[in-house]
Amino acid sequence: MDLKDIRENYRGFDDYKIEKIASQEAASLRPEVLDILKDEIRRRNLNLNLIDSVNSQTRELTDAELNEYYEILRNHPCPNCNSKTQKLNVTAIGTVYSILVVTSYEKFVRIACSNCLDEMHRKANIKSALLGWWGFPWGPIHTIRSFMFNSSMMKNNRTEKPNDIFKNFIGNNVGIIEKAKTQPEKLTEFINGVNSES
């Protein structure tokens, strides 16, 4: 597609699609397409913070900037219980489902306060204990692996410093977090979407 076609496509997108590209997909765009995106944001008089969101995804972040994004996410209300008394953390949760010869072992990223993350790990272990054993031969093996994985991940639920999962999450979603500076409801919406992925 040449740049003229891309510009026409962007003009045809609704505001929501432009905002989504600016806050979540800018890192994957070529520099000349980024210019088209920024021009479209200006042309529509959208929130200019979207341009900051684009810029934050397309350059190397300093430690100070990473810490700022970390604090924005940590101080956001828990999307699960709406509490502000505990800081948010990011973890991974493993679950296993088995039916005869089919076993599914999946891992998901979850964001919540420490108490809610502990509860999510417990629920995942209960589901795996009830549904994971029934596949042969991998059901029991993956069920035990999920218990061990969840146990090791639970240790990160109450850390004060960002763990590797948290750092990767920030790096992959810096545009959303940048946007949250002026639109915290967008961060809540995004976190709820991450937590509902299965």
| Lowest mean pLDDT segment, chosen from 50-64, 91-105, 114-128, 137-151 | 50-64
Using 50, 70 and 90 to split pLDDT, how confident is the model at 19? very high
Using 50, 70 and 90 to split pLDDT, how confident is the model at 91? very high
Using 50, 70 and 90 to split pLDDT, how confident is the model at 183? confident
- Could you tell me the sign of the dihedral formed by the alpha carbons of 41, 15, 173, 70, in that order? positive
pLDDT value at position 123?
97
pLDDT value at position 36?
95
The DSSP code sequence of 69-111 is: HHHHHHTSPPTTT--SSS-EEEEEEEEEEEEBTEEEEEEEEEE
Q: With a cut of 90, say whether residue 195 has pLDDT above it.
A: yes
Please provide the average confidence, as pLDDT, over all residues in the chain: 92
| Lowest mean pLDDT segment, chosen from 110-119, 145-154, 161-170 | 161-170
Mean pLDDT (whole number) for 122-135: 95
Q: What is the pTM of this model?
A: 0.80
Beta carbons within 10 angstroms of residue 167's beta carbon? 14
Q: Using one digit for the tens of pLDDT, what is the confidence trace for 25-77?
A: 998 999 999 999 999 999 999 988 899 889 988 888 888 988 999 999 999 99
pLDDT value at position 114?
94
**CB contact at 8 A, 33 and 18:** no
pLDDT value at position 131?
95
**CB contact at 8 A, 79 and 120:** no
- β-strand partners of 109: 92
